[in-house]
Amino acid sequence: MSEIVVSESELQAYVDGRLSAARNIEVAQYLLQHDADAQRVTAYRRQNELLQAAYDPVLTQPVPAALQPGKPRRMPLQRYAIAAALMAVSGFAGWQLHAYVAAERAQSVYLVRVAAVAHALYSPEVRHPVEVGADQEEHLVRWLSKRLGTSLKIPHLVPQGYSLVGGRLLPGERGPGAQFMYQDMKGQRLTLYVRVSKEAGGQTAFRFAQENGVGVFYWLDGQIGYALSGESNRAELLRVADAVYRQLNP
């Protein structure tokens, strides 16, 4: 058996889980025979864990008001966005911003509920997670666009680590909705729920809600409501929600 040669950079990449699967195995074999390097790898992995343990709690602390970017006299939407972030981090659900926000609330509450329920129902499904698979993406878009009465776009989340599984049409007491499902390499699933409302809607920044253990980032864009649901942590959901938003609003 030939000696495996591992560079320092590869050891670092091994620590961070950034090697290919094949190379990962080779480095693991190498480490079995090289104690000093194995100890370093263990210590470095522990560093990563400790960094998360030490500083991740900052993510869920309320953001101080002083951190509002820009000047308060302008940009109401910006303040909404900040309020949304504050709500997201503090979990303060009963926040009401202005009278007209209250009108949006009914829509939002409904959106979150149907999205979370649909997520909980279909994301664990092994054999039939979707009605139409990603291999028929064009058909899926045409079909759901027709049924929802608006031209839908399916975001691609491969750069974020999620591939499209497919989608389905869902009934709802306030009209149909479309659910697109994505999953990552580990099989962790996210769903994007889209519905068209009959009421005129405003535009909102991202908001976060939690329903029965399912985290939901949602936003309204005119009459279309979007909700991204998943069991992943909030930061991860937000990262993907941001990518979805950007693709839908190029």
Position 33 contacts other proteins (CB under 8 A): no
Report residue 238 CA to chain centroid gap: 5
Report residue 223 CA to chain centroid gap: 22
Q: How far apart are CA 127 and CA 125, in angstroms?
A: 6
- Nearer of residues 16 and 125 to other proteins, judged by Cβ: 16
The span of 52-60, 137-145, 163-171, 172-180 binding other proteins (CB under 8 A) equals: 52-60
**Which residues in the 179-208 window bind other proteins by CB under 8 A?**
203, 205-206
**Which residues in the 208-237 window bind other proteins by CB under 8 A?**
222, 235
Position 4 contacts other proteins (CB under 8 A): no
Position 50 contacts other proteins (CB under 8 A): yes
Q: How far apart are CA 16 and CA 73, in angstroms?
A: 45
Question: Torsion over CA of 116, 182, 225 and 154, rounded to 10 degrees?
Answer: -160
Q: Which residue has the tokens 């370093």?
A: 40
Position 43 contacts other proteins (CB under 8 A): yes
- Nearer of residues 38 and 132 to other proteins, judged by Cβ: 38
Residues 6+ apart with CB under 8 A from 215: 208, 209, 229, 230, 231, 232, 233, 234, 237
- Nearer of residues 17 and 94 to other proteins, judged by Cβ: 17
The long-range contacts involving 32-41, CB below 8 angstroms and separated by at least 24 positions, are 37/6, 37/11, 40/11, 41/11, 41/14, 41/15
**Which residues in the 83-102 window bind other proteins by CB under 8 A?**
84-85, 89
Binding residues vs other proteins (CB under 8 A): 7-9, 11-13, 15-16, 18, 40, 43-44, 47-48, 50-61, 63-64, 66-67, 69-70, 75, 77-78, 80-82, 84-85, 89, 203, 205-206, 222, 235, 238-239, 242, 245-246, 249-250
